[in-house]
A and B are shown apart, each in its own frame.
Chain A
Amino acid sequence: MKSQVFTEFTLTMLPATGLFLFLLLFIAALVWVFRKDSNKFYEQLEQIPFNEDQIRDQQ
């Protein structure tokens, strides 16, 4: 009996836990991404692919 209750409990709790964790992560990511004064930081990041400096062939 007891073990059966435990199994039932786990089964419904598992996806709920997952959803909760996801929401937590999602909100954390949102807060982090839109934190104050981060504009400059992201402008810097999005430029990374263009920071090529000078390139020449190796002889």
Chain B
Amino acid sequence: MSKTTSNMVEVSYDNKVVKAFIQATLLWGFVAMLLGVTIALQLANFNFNFDLPWLTFGRLRPLHTNAAIFAFVGNGMFAGVYYSLQRLLKARLFNDTLSWIHFWGWQLIIVAAAVTIPFGFSQGKEYAELEWPIDIAITLIWVVFAVNFFGTIKKRREKHIYVAIWFYIATVVTVALLHVVNSISLPVSFMKSYSFFAGAQDALIQWWYGHNAVAFFLTTPILGLMYYFVPKAANRPVYSYRLSIIHFWSLVFIYIWAGPHHLLYTALPEWVQTVGMAFSVALWAPSWGGMINGLLTLRGRWDKVKTDHTLKFLATAVTFYGMSTFEGPLLSIKSINAVAHFTDWIVGHVHAGTIGWNYMLTAGMLYYLVPKLWKAELYSPKLANLQFWLATFGLVLYIVSMWVAGITQGMMWMAVSPESGNLIYPHFIETVTQIVPMYWVRAIGGILVLTSFGIMIYNFWKTIKSSNRGSEMDNEVAQVTSNMDQGTGKPKKAHQALEGLPAIFTILVFLSVIVGTIIELAPTFLASSYIEKSEDVTPYTPLELLGRDVYIKEGCYTCHSQMIRPMVNEKLRYGHPSHISESIYDHPFQWGSRRIGPDLARVGGKYPHMWHYRHMVNPREMTPGSIMPNYPWLIKNRYNLKQLQTKMKVMVSLGVPYTEEEIASAVADATSQAEEITESLVEGGIPAKIQDKEVVALIAYLQRLGTDMQFEDEDESDESINEGEGE
């Protein structure tokens, strides 16, 4: 075996950048959870909105989701990927400069998000709120990551690609595709743009993105980490390598199809919904394949799980992964979705994933890495234990309270009296006040989870402080055996290394994902049903367009849907089911995903202007017990007339049929519509100088919603309503 000796090489692993990502994970994880607790309290009591624009629910909720996904899980994933990648490939990261550009670039993007989203710069699409310049920055930094990642694969000294890396490859490729497609938009100005897509098409693309962000940002990379850290921590190989391969391919292929399960019972064509549902249910199998593989790796090690913090967190994470991937397919079944959709059940489900799976797995990984990388003994195993129980208990409170809240509210919405055929709870607010106690329970659960995270930070801070500075391994040197080419005993030339499996593999992953994507999205570009124009539906007036921008800026979509599902109870409560052509000019669509407040798709004409005015200033004046925030600044801030014509021109390039004349007279038209609305407000005692304020534009928009199409033949259209769901 003299060849082995000649194959021995020295590698210096880059630990420094891994450590930096770990510290960022701790910082942003805390921030993300603090934001979560804040918005949880805001729903329990509106006073936590503090009447400050940048602190209101509608603006902080997007910041919370973005921080949790991209800042917390993102940094944790980069730390874990960079650590394991080097060791699995026996190679230092491709390029140190790229590593640091990646690190600082990502942190800058997070800071950019934190200073824009609270101030109302938003594209109005969930988990993709960041405005276009930041979107471009994300793309660039992702490319840097990809180059660094594939560059490392190229210079590897291990011939075979371990399964964890397959999961990383799927992430790198797919996230790029998702982000680029979903973010396509036309800029109006430096910090304002309109989505390229509209209405149903935008909805489908958004949820193709949204669901696959869960799949390829919160799941596949974390599964890769599971396949590395669980065997390492348990000190035994993965239970079944074969199963991991099947797991991988099924997951990558099926996940991409599941997006439409966010749009069941919407105005989307039936078959798209059915495909979404079928593939979502099918997802259960590979997900559980992965869970079983993870848990069985620990077989015979359960005594260790009790004492070893890494294993304890990892095992819990895998268990919650199993739970939430069982619940997900369940929620995709149409009859269950009918109750659960738009309720807190979905919110609870998401947190079973993000806290149960992402937080727990990240914590397990950090308990493995921090003592190793800082060469120090863990400061306090007791605190780690306390953290574990606080987090678990907090999470259980969270999940259970959201089950109760979701199912209660869903059932109340649906309750129709069999005798009279009327809604049993006709006032939406009744269904809100009923679940406010659950919002308190959830907030307490959240505070426990946040505290647990704080304890971990403290524990690591003490650990790191106790480490002997000089002995930190920023560059860890290993003697490794290269097996790149047994014949000559020399590593293969770099380009030959890439020619083999990884390249084919990357192409295969891309193909699987793109096939699903094309089949799912192609009809929206081909079939007329998506772009069905109705003579009755016309573009928003200039003032309404400005009002719509206020709606997007304030994040009203975080609490209000604009999509009436074809069910008896929804028809009774909100009016005729939404038609696909009604949102044809909506760049971006605002169908929403949660009804903390009622659906607004047909709110136009429901109330006088004055009602909206007073409701926006203080919702409780019109609806006692409301948890909607006050919007006092809307009667102080002016809407921006200067940008109006540019906005309309951008809309024209996107296919909205404004005429030249309409654009030319836009400012005059907006002003006169504002005067009309103001007149009726003045009658109610409001000073006339209100006419150039945002609230007037917003009222114009709200009064327009759902008023274009008339549905005369009420009885006939009833037949399209799914009677069974209303009971």
Are these two chains actual partners, yes or no?
yes
A33 with B246: CB separation less than 8 A: yes
Q: 5 A-B pairs, CB-CB below 8 angstroms? A: A7-B527, A10-B527, A26-B253, A53-B8, A55-B477
Q: Is B528 an interface residue (CB 8 A)?
A: yes
Say yes or no for B684: interface residue by CB 8 A criterion: no
Q: Assess A51 versus B481: contact at CB under 8 Å? Given A46-B237, A46-B238.
A: yes
A49 touching B228 in the complex, CB below 8 Å, given contacts A18-B519, A58-B476: yes
Known: A10-B527, A32-B245, A45-B163. 13 other contacts (CB 8 A): A7-B526, A15-B275, A15-B519, A18-B515, A22-B253, A45-B241, A49-B87, A51-B90, A51-B480, A54-B479, A55-B477, A58-B475, A58-B476
CB distance from A28 to the nearest CB of B (A): 9
List the A side residues contacting B516 at CB < 8 Å: 18
Decide: B237 and A11 in contact? CB cutoff 8 A: no
What's the Cα separation between A17 and B528 when bound, in Å? 21
Contact B162 A48 (CB under 8 A): yes
Evaluate contact between B250 and A26: CB separation under 8 angstroms.
yes
The yes or no answer to B271 lying at the interface (CB within 8 A) is yes
Contacts of A29 in B (CB 8 A): 245-246, 249-250
Instruction: With both chains docked as a complex, state the minimum distance between the C-beta of B250 and any C-beta of chain A, in angstroms.
Output: 7
Residue A56 is within 8 A (CB to CB) of chain B in the complex: yes
Hey, which chain A residues are within 8 Å of B664, CB to CB?
none
In whole angstroms, how far apart are the Cα atoms of A7 and B527 in the complex?
A: 6
- Interface check B196, CB cutoff 8 A: no
Asked if B1 is at the interface of the complex by the 8 Å CB criterion, the answer is no
Nearest chain B residue, comparing its CB with the CB of A55 = B478
Residue B245 contacts which of A11, A33, A51 (CB distance < 8 angstroms)? Answer: A33
A37 part of interface (Cβ distance < 8 Å)? no
- Give B12's nearest chain A residue, CB to CB: A58
| Contact present for A52 and B271 (CB under 8 Å) | no
When chains A and B are docked, how far (Å) is the Cα of A35 from the Cα of B23? 44
Q: Which residues 21-35 in A have Cβ within 8 Å of B in the complex?
A: 21-22, 25-26, 29-30, 32-34
Q: Which residue of B lies closest to A54 (CB)?
A: B479
| Contact of B87 with A52 in the complex, beta carbons under 8 Å | yes
User: With A42-B241, A54-B478 in contact, do A14 and B253 touch (Cβ < 8 Å)?
Assistant: no
Chain A residues positioned under 8 Å from B604 (CB to CB): none
Which 5 A/B pairs are nearest by Cβ-Cβ distance? Answer: A46-B237, A48-B162, A58-B475, A42-B241, A54-B479
A56 & B257 in contact (Cβ 8 Å cutoff): no
Interface hits, B481-499 → A, CB 8 Å: 481
Say whether chain A's binding surface is mostly helix, strand, loop, or mixed.
helix
**B245 contacts which chain A residues (CB < 8 A)?**
29, 32-33
Q: How far is the CA of A50 from the CA of B519 in the complex (A)?
A: 41
Chain B interface main SS type: helix
Chain B 421-469 residues near chain A, CB threshold 8 A: none
Q: Give chain B residues whose Cβ lies under 8 Å from the Cβ of A55.
A: 476-479
Contacting pair B477 A25 (CB below 8 A): no
B515 touches A49 (CB 8 A): no
B330 at the interface (CB under 8 A from A): no
Known A7-B528, A46-B237, A58-B12; contact A12-B232, beta-carbon cutoff 8 A: no
User: Complex Cα distance A30/B246, Å?
Assistant: 7
Does B254 make an interface contact (CB < 8 A)? Answer: yes
Please name the residue on chain B nearest to A13 by beta carbon.
Answer: B519
What B residues does A10 contact at CB under 8 A? 522-523, 526-527
State the CA gap A54–B88 with chains docked (Å): 14
- Which residues, 225 to 282 on B, are CB-close (under 8 Å) to A? 228, 231-232, 237-238, 241-242, 245-246, 249-250, 253-254, 257, 269, 271, 275
- CB-CB < 8 A to B232: which residues of A? 49-50
Residues of B within 8 A of A26 (CB): 246, 249-250, 253
Asked if B640 lies at the interface with its beta carbon under 8 angstroms from chain A, I say: no
Contact B271 A51, beta carbon cutoff 8 Å: no
Which one of A33, A44, A50 lies within 8 Å of B242 (CB-CB)?
A33
Query: What is the bound-complex CA distance between A22 and B249, given in angstroms?
Result: 9
B158 at the interface (CB under 8 A from A): yes
Closest Cβ of chain B to A30, distance in Å, is 7
By a CB distance below 8 angstroms, the chain B residues around A45 are 160, 162-163, 241
B645 at the interface (CB under 8 A from A): no
Kindly supply a per-residue 1/0 record for chain B positions 17-39, scoring 1 wherever the CB is within 8 Å of any chain A CB and 0 otherwise: 00000000000000000000000
Contact between chains at B257 and A18 (CB < 8 Å): yes
> Given that A10-B523, A18-B257, A46-B238 are contacting pairs, would A52 and B477 also be in contact in the complex, using a CB cutoff of 8 Å?
no
List which B298-351 residues lie within 8 A (CB) of chain A. Answer: none
Interchain CB contact under 8 A, A53 and B480: yes
Docked-complex contact A11 and B477, CB < 8 angstroms: no
In the assembled complex, the CB of A14 is this many whole angstroms from the nearest CB of chain B, namely 5
Closest residue to B523 on the A side, CB-wise? A11
B107 interfacial by beta-carbon distance below 8 Å? no
Chain A residues closer than 8 Å to B158, beta-carbon distance: 48, 51
Residues A50 and B237 in contact, CB atoms below 8 Å apart: yes
Report B296 CB to chain A, min CB distance, Å. Answer: 13
A49 touches B162 (CB 8 A): yes
Which residues of the other chain, A, contact B271 by a CB distance below 8 angstroms?
11-12, 15
Q: Nearest residue in B to A21 (C-beta to C-beta)? A: B515
Asked if B663 is at the interface (CB within 8 A of a chain A CB), the reply is: no
* Residue contact A52 to B242, C-beta cutoff 8 Å: no
CA distance A11 to B158 in the complex (A): 45
Question: Shortest beta-carbon distance, A31 to chain B, in Å?
Answer: 11
Q: Quick check: A11 and B479 within 8 Å, CB to CB?
A: no
B479→A14 contact, CB < 8 A: no
For residue A42, which residues in chain B have a CB less than 8 angstroms away from its CB? 241-242
Q: B115 CB to closest chain A CB, in angstroms?
A: 39
- Kindly report which residue of chain A lies nearest to residue B297, judged by CB atoms: A46
CB contacts (< 8 Å) of B710 on chain A: these are none
Within 8 A of A (CB), among B519-538: 519, 522-523, 526-528
Q: Quick check: A53 and B478 within 8 Å, CB to CB?
A: yes
Q: Which residues of chain A have C-beta atoms less than 8 A from B237's C-beta?
A: 46-47, 49-50
Q: Does B471 count as interface, using CB distance less than 8 angstroms?
A: yes
Is B519 in contact with A17, judged by CB distance below 8 angstroms?
yes
Q: Are B471 and A57 in contact (CB under 8 A)?
A: yes
User: A56 to B10, alpha carbons, bound, how many Å?
Assistant: 10
Q: In the bound complex, what is the Cα–Cα distance between A25 and B256 (angstroms)?
A: 15
Are B160 and A25 within 8 A (Cβ)? no
Q: Does B512 contact A (CB under 8 A)?
A: yes
A57: which of B88, B238, B253, B477 is its contact (CB, 8 Å)?
B477
Contact (Cβ within 8 A) A57 B476 = yes
- Min distance, Cβ B332 to any Cβ of chain A, angstroms: 15
Contacts of B269 in A (CB 8 A): 11
- Tell me if B473 is interfacial: C-beta within 8 Å of chain A: yes
Say yes or no: A53 contacts B479, CB within 8 Å. Answer: yes
Residue of A at shortest CB range from B515? A21
Whether A14 pairs with B523 at a CB distance below 8 angstroms is: yes
The CA-CA distance from A30 to B289 in the complex, in Å, is: 14
Chain A residues with Cβ under 8 A from B512's Cβ? 25
CB closest chain-B residue, reference A22: B253
A30 to B477, CA, bound (A): 39
Min CB distance, B297 to chain A, in Å? 10
B581 CB to nearest A CB, Å: 17
Interface residues of B in 28-63 (CB under 8 A from A): none
